[in-house]
Structure 1
Amino acid sequence: MKIVFTDLDHANHDVETEILDRAGFAAPLLRCLNEDELIEQLAGVEIALNQYAPFTRRVFDALPDLKQIIRYGVGVNNVDLEAASAAGVQVCNVPDYGMHEVSDHALALSLALIRKLVPMNAGCQAGRWEYADAIPIRRQTRMTAGVVGLGRIGRLYARKMAALGFNVIAHDRYHQPNAADGNDDIRCLELDALFREADVIGLFCPLTEETRHMVDDAALARMKPTAYVVNTSRGGIIDEAALAQALTAGKLAGAALDTTEREPLPADSPLRGIDNCLVTPHMAWYSEDAALELKRKVAEEAVRFANGEQILWPVNRPEK
């Protein structure tokens, strides 16, 4: 099978190349940025290892030989899954490579907000030594953590927050806590009830039409003015204009975002310059270990598919 990398911003792709070479496949690295470049450069290609390049219905219509797309990472927002299925293209992702890193990052952001570490550090660095600037801070064992989305990462975050003494509640329309997950003691609520009850809210949802701007003006109005929101999933889940307004008006105590609706965060973003809004550059997934695991798993999934073996991480169900 003809395999290519459509695009990749990593320093190298040595891990993938070694795995593909060992299996008897050569895969050139392309630099496709848009639909036209995909259509022009992927003629005859059957397997595409993909990071950002957009696979739309137009692209699928123009590439009848394409059989599989493997996305670097969990999200598949740049792939039209309905069009892929109709075209008979199997889409895969790597859902478990950075789940410990993302849950740890969400935990770190949660604690940084609650303990007010960033403003306290800024004050000390500026020569001010006054713990009272952090008032009020609550004891974690008297706080409730709300987990929205009980996938792999959400379940890990829930367990880690519970281990620190938080009361943990959750909401997931498609997954209920159970003994096999080790989360059977979590109380599940409707989303509105979770927003009202939680002191820190962690978002662990895919970005879909259902979840886009799930945290909007109405959702923020339901939250306690002392609550914190942490998002390490996808930026579009939060209406950033509404979030900025809530933060500046004192209707929300703080927020921490590893993903934003546009990345990098635009210079004119309303979230810029808000002291109680922490932003990190979509790095929650990263550790050296996670990066190597991602690269290995992308290549191994391609080899399995090319050899007619059972794939591990299908996202859609091709119709052909």
Structure 2
Amino acid sequence: MATHTGRTVHKKPPDVPSSVVVLDAPGAGYAEGAERERQIIGPLGDVRPLIVPAEQRGRLHEVEADYVILWHRVSLDAEFFERSASCRAVVCASVGYDHVDIEAARARGIPVYHVPHYGTEEVADHTLALFLALERRLGELRDHVRDHGWDWRAIGEPRRLSEMVWGVVGLGRIGLAVARRAQAFGFRVVFHDPYNHPGIEKALGLERSHQLDQLLGESDVVSLHVPLTQETRHLLDAGRLHRMKRGAVLVNTARGALIDVSALRAALAEERPARVGLDVVEGEPDVPMWLRIHSKALVSPHAAFYSVRSLSELRTRAAEAVRQMINGEPVTSAVEVV
């Protein structure tokens, strides 16, 4: 046995494969049979999917695994990292990593990786699709025609896109992809990102807003593209929602808890925002019924990331990262959370 940052781990003989578990929640449908992961890791690892019901997650520390590939519906808390005797690394099969206690992992010397460089195109496309469906009233028009109507006035009063301002909150990979798409539609694009490089707006032909409240007050569309942290949880609370421009559209394809869902109902009644497109919701999959059926809300089931190609890319990158770690190679298929 060897000790690593206060944690006792068993060293495996070189001819014994490492144990790898793919953790998923019942009904989520990500892990499946882990065939793709087995194919990539090959004889280096004994790979098995593990579907964990909510009532059993307090015992995850009992799982014997050298490496964990973790899907976003299962969380690893401080107890897992404090009590696990075997875990050497965690790879989040996702862009986000708020379902992992990063500080607890760091305290035990267990690296945590995520895969931020997959599915950018799909999430950006979905963001634009949610907005366009809301602005062009596609749901209402569909229902109108199904009810035997044929009146163009059922579309309401949509605006000309080239006369609108699109506010991007968070100009990372996905935020930038959304900004470029919005530019192609003719929007004036403004972004808020206090962590992005000064002057990047000049290179990209965008406008920077140094104050989030200012962006909210001037944008006809606001889309969220930031990770969920203690700083960003309920980034849009009741006060911030009230500062939005009346009649604006709000789109969230990042993390549900960026928006205080308890404050959103009243905000919609005040038309700040007037319409909302959500691919993620705080507390999902337990989405409030009022939001599911709200006439001014368009909600999709955390599907923005998905295409056949993006899911394959995600599973491949996560598994390749584990293979690289087992081989003692630099991890290039995923990014360590620091």
Q: Answer whether TM exceeds 0.5 for this pair.
A: yes
Number of residue pairs matched?
Answer: 312
- Kept in 1, the 8 Å contact 2:62–2:84? The answer is no
CA offset digits 1:249-305 (Å, max 9, x no partner): 434320000001122243x44323211110001000000000111111111000111
Which amino acid in the other structure matches residue 79 of structure 2?
R
Structure 1 residues not aligned, in runs of 5+? none
Residue of 136, 142, 160 corresponding to 1:121: 142
Amino acid at match of 1:246: A
Equivalent residue number for residue 285 of structure 1: 305
Equivalent position amino acid for 1:153 in 2: I
Q: Structure 2: how far apart are the matches of 1:109 and 1:121?
A: 15
User: 1:145 is paired with a residue of what secondary structure?
Assistant: strand
Give the % identical residues. Answer: 35
- 1:49-88 matched pairs, under 5 angstroms: 49-51=69-71, 52-88=73-109
Distance in structure 1 (CA, Å) of the matches to 2:116 and 2:202: 19
Offset at 1:57? Answer: 1.3
Cα 1:285–1:64, aligned 2, differ >3 Å: closer, same or farther? same
Q: Larger deviation: 144-153 or 184-193?
A: 184-193
Between 53-62 and 28-37, the greater mean CA deviation after superposition: 28-37
Distance 1:6 1:65 in 2: 15
Corresponding position of 1:2: 19
Are 2:167 and 1:150 equivalent residues in the alignment? no
CA distance in 2, matches of 1:117, 1:231: 19
Measured after TM superposition, the shift of residue 183 of structure 1 is: 5.3
Q: Is the 8 A contact 1:146 1:194 kept in 2?
A: yes
Partner of 2:275: 254
Structure 2 match to 1:26: 46
Partner of 1:273: 293
Residue among 169, 174, 180 paired with 1:159: 180
- Could you tell me which of 63, 67, 78 is aligned with 1:41? 63
CA distance in 2, matches of 1:121, 1:244: 24
TM-score by length of 1: 0.92
CA distance in 2, matches of 1:232, 1:182: 26
Quick check: 1:13 aligned with 2:34? yes
1:302 aligns with 2:319: no
Tell whether 2:151 aligns with 1:140.
no
The structural deviation recorded for 1:38 is: 1.3
Structure 2 unaligned spans of 5+ = 1-17
1:210 maps to 2:231: yes
Any idea what SS the aligned residue of 2:130 has? helix
Partner-residue secondary structure (3-state), 2:49: coil
> Which has the bigger relative contact order, CA under 8 A and spacing at least 6?
1
Cα distance between partner residues in 2 of 1:6 and 1:258: 22
SS in 2 for 1:129: coil
User: Offset at 1:182?
Assistant: 9.0
